[in-house]
Amino acid sequence: MDELSADSIKEKLRLLKEEFGVEHGYEELQKRFLQLQAIFRFTLDGQILLTKSGVILSANPAIGKLLGYTAGEMLEISRKDILDESEEQIQEMLRIRNEKGSFQGEIHMLHKSGQRIPVEISTVLFEIDQESFASVTVRDIRPRIAIEENRKKSEALVKLLMENTEESFFLLDKDLNIVSLNKTARLMSQRLLNKKPEPGTSIFELAQDERREELKELYAEVLCGIKRESEITIPQPDGGYRYFLIKYDPLFDEQGKVQGVFVNTSETTAIRVAELAFQKQKALFESLVQRTTDGTVILDTDGTIRFANDSSKSLLGLNPDAVVGTSGLDLVYQDDLKRAQQALADLVIYPDKPLEIEIRLLNDVAKPVWCELRAVNQVMNPHIGGLVVHFHDISARKAQEAELYESRKSLSQLLNNTEESFILCDRNLKVTAFNQAASDRNETINNRPMVIGESLLTTIASYRVDQARELARHVFKEGKSIKTTAHHVLANGSSMLLALEYSPVYEDDGRISGLCIIGNDVTDIRKAEAALLSSRQRLMNAQHIARLGSWDFEIESGELLWSDEVYNIYGLDIETDKPSERLVYKLVHPEDVTPFREAVNAVLDGRTDKLDFQHRLIHPNLKQRWLHQRGELRKGENGKTWLVGTVQDITEQKAIDHEMELSIERFRMVEMATNDVIWDLDLETDQLIWASTIERVFGYSSKDPAINDMRWWESKIHPEDGSRTFHSLYKHQHSNEKIWTEQYRFLHADGSYRDVLDRGYTVFDEEGKAIRIIGSMQDITETINQQRQIAEYADRLEGMVSSITDSFFTLDKQWRFSYLNPVAEKEFSVDGLSNHNKIIWEAFPELQKSELERLFRKTITGKKPIQFEHLLFGKWYAFNLYPQNRGLSVYARDISAKKLEEERLRLLESVITNTNDAILITEAEPLNEPGPRIVFVNEAFTRMTGYTAEEVLGKNPRILQGPETDRKVLDKLRNAFLAWHPVEVEVINYCKDGTPFWSNFSIVPIANEKGWYTHWISIQRNITERKEAEVAQKLLNEELMKQNYGLEQFSYITSHNLRAPVANLMSLLDLLDRQDLANPSNQELLDMIDLSAHRMDETLNELIKVLKIKGETNPGFVQVCFQEVYNRVLDNIGALLQDAKGIVATHFEVPEMAYAASHIESIMLNMLTNAIKYRSPDRNLMIDISSEAKDEFVVLSFRDNGLGIDLNRYKNRLFGMYQRFHNNADSRGLGLYIVHAQVQALGGKIEVDSDVGVGTTFRVYLKNTFDARINH
């Protein structure tokens, strides 16, 4: 190997420079220099120039960085220091290069630290002045390897997940052909649909015929980017159904276009079956109870809160009672109000679309709290009738997100371009972030590391502090970037020239939050430029290898220059095609033209300082390619401005990236579609990697490094499940089984244990040793809870059904008894043997072709419940038939007793109808207006009252009452009604035609089986005849009483008025001295005996008179003139009247009447005698006698001004015999009695008015109805 001395190379380079200078002048040279500098700056690939023998002449920063050497160090090492291959391999490589002039391949290089780095190299030999040089382009292929590994891994995961789940997956392209599907999908299709789907066939081939149209519409929507869900029901041969929930998720490419569909099917039969059973409770249960830790409110469609659960109190501190009735929007933080209103409107307008939104709600102290809201429209749900909103506090998460956002923002700035050093400071110039380059450089320059949180001013070299402070102040003030250079003398005596750029860091809201210092070591560039200038050829080669072209564009003239490789990349001919801006845009994919122009303009306008744009290229002959344009503005010393840049073909890279993205996207989709948490356990290191879903499912941050340890997982397992789970995993590792499955309880970050189903899939190395387990962990708490609930519900239902006292059984579609409750077992058995699983028509052949069979079948075909009563096995049953998906439910109640009762009632009814007593039934109430309604009357009622049933039904019985109806009786009735007592009354009622009749009512309250009174039954009888008879009887009785009174009076006379004088006579005679008759005391006694005997004679005469009046039925009627009779009486008592100094005035308005003359004379005599006898001693007697006509009577009145009678005391005895009211000597008590007897005997009466000390008036009513007798 011939070695070149460093001096000779330098000489050649100088010559080369001179040569260029001659040919193109300084300007050209400057242009080239810039071009080369750009290449060096922008290529990420390492570039090394070395002699044929392997001495490194020049190396760019990228290779130095890759291998860990500084630019200076790179020049001091040789090829063998950086190659990590065996000597044979190196020789083979060199041989190929030397023979063919170039070599390309993948080898390993050695980092300064000794680390092995896989790289792709291409090396080219070229000659300058018969000296051979080698140019080597080195590309770090570690990212590619990592990507490939990741891709393989994630594909394995996807595959694993897809194969090891009970959910089926289909991945469809945008033509809806199957791209891939998992085992479950295959099995399900085969079992349920009897179809064998294969990749490449259309998904529609799987569809049930009747669903095809529906599915087409559905997929059309999904292809428009809308997520859909549908549920299908597949009938089973056993008559049952299986339910499946299918989710259709559109898959988007990076432009947001739908490129396919992800179809995920899971069976929901178990849940659906239970759901059907307790749908009612479930609606509320699910919405309200299931998520107890969530706040739950129910809103009306206008946002008014109708209900808030207790959790809303713990979350927001709001009293549920206080918020009910207020608007839910009042709780929303002002800044989020518009979004909340929109969301509410959407929820109301699109009721099928659940709402998920993150907004701030105000708590009890009006502080905004970040909450995640999930809302469903349950307005049509009759049990809820509103919008159900669940929410929970996500402030913590939000805070984390904000932090993450901050760190990402900083990070992205940092990692933009690793060749440059970055330092980020806050406004106080405290270092908040820096990149490796900055750290390295600082160490090189200042010999101290950078520390986050330290002041920038203490970090940088002391002699630059003032400058830095001044620059920072300027940046903060002006908000503009400032460029400067800084020259450093390093410890080893070499110098370093840094190009520094101080830029402001902006917040979202435009505030300057900090400072970014970008530093570029321009020392190396200046060194390298010399080396690169040495060879145009080398440049071309390097560009070609890297598929990297360079270009420069003079802005003012529009002149564009391309390196040769640009022609290759664009697919143009270097001879015929001239570089122009127009040509470039013509080649750019039409969709990318505008953004590309915009990116270029942004640089030209100074909005950004670097061009970095990827676009597609329409190659005239070749396939579509991806190009990466990078560039920046450079100012020449003559004031001209160039846009200088490179273009690189990145098609291959793009393809890998794209594939990777797709793969990651699929992984993400699967991750999203399932709630499984994927984990990856490295069995050698016990390192455990979790998918990010762990955060969503179990609440642990996937970024927390603590979770990446096997021991962490162990610590989260429920102590009771721990040893079993570890043991089974341990056992699994040492078996050859591929699949590990375990169910255990796993601690959620919220402190609760979740039931999980964990499935692991072991990966073995070539020697069959288990090296990794990849698994998926599924939270099945809800499923288990649901199963538990379903089981409990089933128990409850079973208990309910078996405890009912009526028969209940179900029949399946084959008419087999699928369930019989204990009563049904008893009633519907044959010879005591259960009919379970027997076909009803075989168990009871007599039912075949019966009406019952017809109705059973009708229920199933009509799909509507039917109720009827039917005679079966000698008993009457009330049947309720309910159609079910699986057959028929039959509820049969034995109503034989009821039927018997009904029969009896029917008999009773016929009796009631035919009886002669009127029967009227009313409802029990109301007793007040409008009164109880009549619900029944029989024919007898119609006969009695004239009212037909139609006329009175619905009215109340008061229509029968009328003016003569006795109110007292009605009150009695009412009181009985109020007390629910039976009552019997007699009252005058009225027929329809107004005729009154006496009615006997017997009214009884009727109670139902519970003892509540529901009706009154009244039985009525017309008792008018009886009543009339009673009146006659009463009259008779009165006459009898009168007669009796007469008799009593008579006995009184005998006892008193006759016995007393006789007793006196006897006593007097007893006292008589019979021995000595001449005894003077005898004389007195004899006088008394004489008196007594006369008295007795008078009494006897009067008695005879009385008897005569009483016996006198026709005393001889004549026309009697009152004045004449008065005159005759006056003849008799004239002397008496004169003694009493009485004056009599007569005024006979009716002068005469037909009457018994002796009676009128007796009346006048007695009345006048009485008036004289009982005259007042204080005044002269005045008597007034008059006659007048009144009705059928002639009234004779006698008015005096005598003593008067105390009527309160004596009225009842006034006309009795021998009643005396004055101790008047003449009074014997017979006069008024005789007058009364006489008047009464001829149908009249006597009235008396009297005031003691004022006078008395007697009015004698003489009946005037005996005219006929006169003629007679």
Please give the residue ranges that form the binding site for other proteins (CB under 8 A).
1051-1052, 1054-1056, 1059-1060, 1063-1064, 1066-1068, 1070-1071, 1088, 1091-1092, 1218, 1220-1224, 1227
Locus of tokens 């390192």: 687
Q: Which is nearer to other proteins, 1013 or 1218 (CB)?
A: 1218
Q: Which is nearer to other proteins, 741 or 1054 (CB)?
A: 1054
**To the nearest whole angstrom, how small is the minimum distance from the Cβ of residue 1100 to other proteins?**
16
Q: Which is nearer to other proteins, 726 or 1052 (CB)?
A: 1052
Q: Which is nearer to other proteins, 483 or 1059 (CB)?
A: 1059
User: For strand 625-635 and strand 983-990, is the pairing parallel, antiparallel, or unpaired?
Assistant: unpaired
456-471 exposure pattern, b = at least 16 Cβ within 10 A, e = fewer: bbebbbeebeeebeeb
Q: How far apart are CA 139 and CA 63, in angstroms?
A: 9
**To the nearest whole angstrom, how small is the minimum distance from the Cβ of residue 1255 to other proteins?**
19
**To the nearest whole angstrom, how small is the minimum distance from the Cβ of residue 1092 to other proteins?**
6
Q: Which is nearer to other proteins, 849 or 1213 (CB)?
A: 1213
Q: Which is nearer to other proteins, 288 or 1060 (CB)?
A: 1060
Q: φ, ψ for residue 308 (rounded to 5)?
A: -140, 135
- How big, in percent rounded to 5, are the helix, strand and coil portions of the chain? 45, 30, 25
**To the nearest whole angstrom, how small is the minimum distance from the Cβ of residue 1217 to other proteins?**
11
Q: Which is nearer to other proteins, 118 or 1216 (CB)?
A: 1216
**To the nearest whole angstrom, how small is the minimum distance from the Cβ of residue 1139 to other proteins?**
22
Is residue 858 within 8 A of residue 843, CB to CB? The reply is no
Q: Which helix (H) or strand (E) holds 741?
A: strand 739-747
Indicate the angle between helix axes 1157-1173 and 1122-1139, nearest 10 degrees.
Answer: 20
**To the nearest whole angstrom, how small is the minimum distance from the Cβ of residue 1254 to other proteins?**
18
Indicate the angle between helix axes 269-284 and 781-803, nearest 10 degrees.
Answer: 80
Q: For residue 1157, what are the CA distances in angstroms to 424, 1106, 1164, 1259?
A: 154, 16, 11, 18
**To the nearest whole angstrom, how small is the minimum distance from the Cβ of residue 1071 to other proteins?**
6
**To the nearest whole angstrom, how small is the minimum distance from the Cβ of residue 1223 to other proteins?**
5
Q: Which helix (H) or strand (E) holds 670?
A: helix 651-673
Q: φ, ψ for residue 55 (rounded to 5)?
A: -85, 130
Is residue 393 within 8 A of residue 362, CB to CB? The reply is no
> What single letter denotes the amino acid at residue 518?
I
| Cβ contacts of 618 within 8 Å, gap of 6 or more | 587, 588, 589, 590, 624
Burial (CB count <10 Å: 0-12, 13-18, 19+), residue 493: exposed
Q: Which is nearer to other proteins, 5 or 1223 (CB)?
A: 1223
- DSSP structure string for 819-866: EE-HHHHHHT-BTTB--TTSBHHHH-GGGTTSHHHHHHHHHHHHTS-E
The full 3-state SS of 518-582, as one line of letters, equals EEEEHHHHHHHHHHHHCCHHHHHHHHHHHCEEEEEEECCCCCEEECHHHHHHHCCCCCCCCCCHH
Q: Which is nearer to other proteins, 719 or 1177 (CB)?
A: 1177
Q: What angle do CA 1202, 1205, 1210 make, to 5 degrees?
A: 160
Would you say the C-alpha torsion 1149, 1153, 1158, 1163 has a positive or negative sign? Answer: negative
**To the nearest whole angstrom, how small is the minimum distance from the Cβ of residue 1173 to other proteins?**
12
**To the nearest whole angstrom, how small is the minimum distance from the Cβ of residue 1175 to other proteins?**
16
Q: How far apart are CA 181 and CA 185, in angstroms?
A: 6
Is residue 392 within 8 A of residue 372, CB to CB? The reply is yes
**To the nearest whole angstrom, how small is the minimum distance from the Cβ of residue 970 to other proteins?**
39
**To the nearest whole angstrom, how small is the minimum distance from the Cβ of residue 1126 to other proteins?**
29
Token pair listed for 1231: 């006069």
**To the nearest whole angstrom, how small is the minimum distance from the Cβ of residue 1067 to other proteins?**
4
Nearest CA among 156, 206, 164 for reference residue 183: 164
Locus of tokens 């370093």: 496
**To the nearest whole angstrom, how small is the minimum distance from the Cβ of residue 986 to other proteins?**
33
Q: Which is nearer to other proteins, 115 or 1081 (CB)?
A: 1081
Q: Which is nearer to other proteins, 866 or 1060 (CB)?
A: 1060
In sequence order, what E strands does 964-1089 have? 983-990, 996-1007, 1013-1022
**To the nearest whole angstrom, how small is the minimum distance from the Cβ of residue 1226 to other proteins?**
12
**To the nearest whole angstrom, how small is the minimum distance from the Cβ of residue 1106 to other proteins?**
18
**To the nearest whole angstrom, how small is the minimum distance from the Cβ of residue 1101 to other proteins?**
20
Locus of tokens 């039409």: 590
Laid out side by side, the sheet with 386-393 consists of 305-308, 295-299, 386-393, 368-378, 355-362
Nearest CA among 566, 591, 592 for reference residue 580: 566
Nearest CA among 420, 411, 535 for reference residue 134: 535
Q: Which is nearer to other proteins, 718 or 1056 (CB)?
A: 1056
Is residue 922 within 8 A of residue 1016, CB to CB? The reply is yes
Q: Which is nearer to other proteins, 753 or 1218 (CB)?
A: 1218
Q: Which is nearer to other proteins, 1135 or 1225 (CB)?
A: 1225
Q: Which is nearer to other proteins, 826 or 1094 (CB)?
A: 1094
Q: Which is nearer to other proteins, 1042 or 1059 (CB)?
A: 1059
**To the nearest whole angstrom, how small is the minimum distance from the Cβ of residue 1174 to other proteins?**
11
Q: Which is nearer to other proteins, 1067 or 1114 (CB)?
A: 1067
Q: Which is nearer to other proteins, 969 or 1088 (CB)?
A: 1088
Nearest CA among 779, 725, 786, 722 for reference residue 752: 779
Q: Which helix (H) or strand (E) holds 514?
A: strand 512-521
